[in-house]
Structure 1
């Protein structure tokens, strides 16, 4: 029997199909409504948020680094200039694989390992929108090679940036200092917002001490860019604020004369205006070219400077510590007056030596036969050691320490320069703390003539001499004379206190007269002049100890074992305008150092106004460099200072600390072997 199948129910199938259609349409409609609602929610209620995010992708803030302030001497002569260099930079926002880009770029612009290391350090902390420097000071060859392959390096550009130039090279290196690339340690401490787009920071000298004034305040430029980082248009900018210009108390001419005196020698010269504390000249010799450090000095060049036996990187004027020798006798003699240990009529008989009561050990005078009957005046003029042996024995080390510290010995002067040494004025407490032993009376005798453990910097000697010239008025040495710019900075050009002295003004005058006689008829008579009076004191500091009972014999010593020559003085004696300290390493005796001081005083007092020393050509900032002219190519020819629009109106008429020089840090010799002339 044939099976019967039911007929197809068309109506039912249509209903099912229509239901499915309506369900699908409803689902799609609901989804569309959800999308429309979400779109409306984002566009209406979160418009500002997403508009800002969109602008951040489209609009970028490019930092505008500030120009560094200029540095001038007291007469408006330019000492630190700015000039443009070509720099390769990379935008973090536009480079996906930075390591690969740097690797491919290395042979194109000749990136060194140092360049790469500096870049890697900086790029880690840079903002996403910041451009980071790859290499400073590109050569013409670097620029040409990059231009040919620029399309291979999206996000990498060549820009013009300002860098530092020191037109007088070695002359002001130790006092002006230099700028260099920001290193890892500095990156951790600086304000990254203030240094955005900046590669250089002060390393030593004025450049470091006044970094906050010189640096300036960065600005920014708002630009519109496409997805590839190409600039479409400039939307606006906030200009950066240039750093303050600094006008220093240094005098170009005096600095030149002082440097000429130390040419080919090791030593330091510091000249101060005793009325204000202004440093007029500060020279450390030998020196170095600070321009080598600005864009990064090579390992070979740095090693040559670092390993040089004469230590050109070492600032002898500020950091060098030397036994001051007899230069401190005027200050010490006034201490005897203060404590009433002696007066101007107190005399001793000098047989050429001194020994402590109950001790046969002889502390010898530099003059073997002695000076005979000596008072305080004669002891200064002839630099009689024995008089000060007796004086120190009577005063005692505690009172000597209390008195001499008032002149700044054993403490930093407070000069506005970094890395100053405090020197050392030894005492029993210091010896027990550092050497775990008691003070010996013989050490007091050594300290009394500036030997033993007593060490001082040339700057400290200059300040102490200025205080003596001022009849006890204390001045703080400083190099900043004035500043102009957006930031205020007070400068104090006046005495900051007075020595606690129980004597009278007449005692200061008598000591001044004794120092005048040092020049007129004593150990400094080689520099006397009829044109003005100099008050001074010579000194000799031993480098190599001579055994008790032995004679000092220069013929048996090497050049670096010869004594240091020192001189301190001020002029004109009655109304001082300049105080000076000179240290000539291995200069043999103080008379030699005094001869270096005389031309400096002559220039300041006799020649500065009528025949000033000025640069043979005036340095130009910027401009010429863009035409490919380097600083060394600037034209020469005497150009009046008045042609410089940055000159000061109303002017006067115009890391790296290294190991100290061997001769400046040897163990202090025992003074009882002294048998040399002042």
Structure 2
């Protein structure tokens, strides 16, 4: 058998091995070269860039929210202040299971269902990377318990926060307004205004009232600090710090004690009162009853409290002084009298015979006077003192609606006063043009008759009427009403005192003013519609009562107050200024469903005058329960 023996080609195998080895080494060297080149690129070429990124991972820029400015009344009484407390906050983006985390926290800290609901609402309105409070104002015991267990709750932390507080609660609430947590809509507006950078780290913003109107002054300037943090994002040390600048303190024109006196004078009635210094436009009291507790809104109002406020038939959230619009009733008669004198439609001695009603020529419809039997012979002076409707029915038809509109517009009726608070409405002083545009109907003489006694389409706010009263008291010189008296720097204590601004000065006959104002003084004396309120006063004050219909009365029907549901009874008005010879305060009082200005609204004004001028509370002027009828019509 032939056997073939195979011999290995050793040299070839060694050659192939060396070739493969060389290729492998070359490949490894290539990879090492690439790695080295990348390393050089990163460490040398890009050194500055990556060093900066590393620093950013180690150093965090933390905004420091400024302390909000305080609010004081004109005498230094604090109306809005800050206090420090701990809050328990959750950053939802850092929490794996939010519900479980909150449940576990509830075993350490008292977390109520309302807290969970509020947190859920805040979470829906804010960005997930922001920390949001699950509980505010923790007790010392709660702080201690959580601190021990903190390691168990990543994304949950204690923070010391400044909280706003309104010590007067419902009193002055509509004037001050309140702050609330910043939401997405606020952020969008701040970005639009290009001031969002100044709100980084801030949780609250003014919502209504002074808090909203002077937000920029109150907020201050945000600071920041460079903080070294560990791998978990916890603060290790502060590297540098730029302190925030606290917001400015505001000194208002309001007298807190006068405000308290005015609010107490309303008792359980709803309504509004605005008192103004005629010599400079400073608002001395700004009442809207009922009010609400602004402290409820700071952290987000709970549903039950919101429902109670929002569904209340008393409308406590409605700022009646600023936004309430009501027929002015007979309070416009002094201005009608001035218009009649100005347009030469009346002279001081011109007299009518009042049978208790007025009829238009060729018409059988009777426009009734509040006094069925009439007032007999009535001149201009008496028409104001006894509030004769018949006199002003006739005067209105002779003047015509456009002349009335023009004259009243000069006193600011139908216009915003320009007060330094957002949300004011303009009221309404109608004209032929307005009715055509609004209702697509022509103006009738009967419309003018109603306007002549402050009914029909006419609407005013308590603020507007107080402004017009102050202008009347000042013989036609109108100072713009304002609530801010001084701005005080929180870090230098320097004060910026705001001056008075004259809106306009009416070129009217001074004798006409004197006649009308003397008649208004007689209103508060024997025989006048506010004689009860003026009785025993050690100073003379001028005023005019008014009654504004809530529901219309058909021709031939009689309005009997005791037979009308309380919420459909007439509103009671009183406008006045004091002292008569040198006015220091002018005001307008509205009492919703109060009935008669002389018996309900005027006594409130008297109490305010007594405190402001004499420094004392007035004695009760009338013992009357809310359900009883007033003793005077107007």
- Provide, for residues 133-187 of structure 1, a one-character-per-residue CA deviation record: whole Å limited to 9, x for no partner: 4443345675466445422222321111111111111111111111122344334
Q: Is the 8 A contact 2:116 2:134 kept in 1?
A: no
Q: Is the 8 A contact 2:101 2:153 kept in 1?
A: no
Correspondence 1:67-78 to 2 at 5 A: 67-78=67-78
Q: Is the 8 A contact 2:179 2:208 kept in 1?
A: yes
- Provide, for residues 385-417 of structure 1, a one-character-per-residue CA deviation record: whole Å limited to 9, x for no partner: 111111111110011011111222122211112
- Name 1:325's counterpart in structure 2: 329
Equivalent residue in structure 2 for 1:426, among 430, 439, 444: 430
Which protein has greater RCO, CA pairs closer than 8 Å, 6+ apart?
A: 1
The alignment's TM-score, normalised by the length of structure 1, stands at: 0.84
Equivalent residue in structure 2 for 1:581, among 567, 588, 598: 588
Equivalent residue in structure 1 for 2:216, among 212, 228, 235: 212
How far the C-alpha of 1:12 sits from its partner, in A, is: 4.1
Q: Give the distance between the partners of 1:15 and 1:545, measured in 2 at CA.
A: 118
Decide which moves more: 13-22 or 177-186.
Answer: 13-22
Q: Is the 8 A contact 2:95 2:155 kept in 1?
A: no
- Name 1:639's counterpart in structure 2: none
How far the C-alpha of 1:553 sits from its partner, in A, is: 2.3
How far the C-alpha of 1:96 sits from its partner, in A, is: 6.2
Structure 1 residue runs of 4 or more that deviate by more than 6 Å after TM superposition: 486-490
Computed over aligned residues only, the root mean square deviation of the Cα atoms, in angstroms, reads 2.5
- Name 2:22's counterpart in structure 1: 22
DSSP-derived class of the 1:169 partner: coil
Equivalent residue in structure 1 for 2:533, among 524, 527, 544: 527
Pair 1:181-2:181 in alignment: yes
DSSP-derived class of the 1:282 partner: strand
Equivalent residue in structure 2 for 1:509, among 474, 495, 514: 514
- Name 1:119's counterpart in structure 2: 123
- Name 1:669's counterpart in structure 2: none
Distance change >3 Å, CA 387–CA 134, structure 1 → 2: same
DSSP-derived class of the 1:340 partner: coil
Q: Give the distance between the partners of 1:347 and 1:7, measured in 2 at CA.
A: 151
How far the C-alpha of 1:105 sits from its partner, in A, is: 5.5
DSSP-derived class of the 1:483 partner: strand
Q: Give the distance between the partners of 1:236 and 1:374, measured in 2 at CA.
A: 81
Equivalent residue in structure 2 for 1:596, among 589, 597, 604: 604
Distance change >3 Å, CA 26–CA 345, structure 1 → 2: same
Unaligned runs of 5+ in 2: 618-630
DSSP-derived class of the 1:171 partner: coil
Q: Give the distance between the partners of 1:98 and 1:602, measured in 2 at CA.
A: 63
Unaligned runs of 5+ in 1: 612-674
- Name 2:412's counterpart in structure 1: 408
- Name 2:397's counterpart in structure 1: 393
Pair 1:161-2:169 in alignment: no
- Name 1:458's counterpart in structure 2: 462
DSSP-derived class of the 1:170 partner: coil
Pair 1:677-2:633 in alignment: yes
Q: Give the distance between the partners of 2:236 and 2:37, measured in 1 at CA.
A: 35
Q: Is the 8 A contact 1:279 1:479 kept in 2?
A: yes
- Provide, for residues 422-459 of structure 1, a one-character-per-residue CA deviation record: whole Å limited to 9, x for no partner: 22222222222232222111110101111112121111
The alignment's TM-score, normalised by the length of structure 2, stands at: 0.90
Equivalent residue in structure 2 for 1:344, among 341, 344, 348: 348
Q: Give the distance between the partners of 2:174 and 2:369, measured in 1 at CA.
A: 37
Q: Give the distance between the partners of 1:237 and 1:581, measured in 2 at CA.
A: 52
Q: Give the distance between the partners of 1:364 and 1:92, measured in 2 at CA.
A: 69
Equivalent residue in structure 1 for 2:228, among 224, 231, 253: 224
Aligned length: 606
Correspondence 1:364-403 to 2 at 5 A: 364-403=368-407
How far the C-alpha of 1:299 sits from its partner, in A, is: 1.0
How far the C-alpha of 1:473 sits from its partner, in A, is: 1.0
DSSP-derived class of the 1:317 partner: helix
Distance change >3 Å, CA 451–CA 144, structure 1 → 2: same
Correspondence 1:494-643 to 2 at 5 A: 494-499=501-506, 501=507, 503-521=508-526, 522-528=528-534, 529=536, 531-592=538-599, 593-607=601-615
Q: Is the 8 A contact 2:327 2:548 kept in 1?
A: yes
DSSP-derived class of the 2:285 partner: strand
Distance change >3 Å, CA 105–CA 209, structure 1 → 2: farther
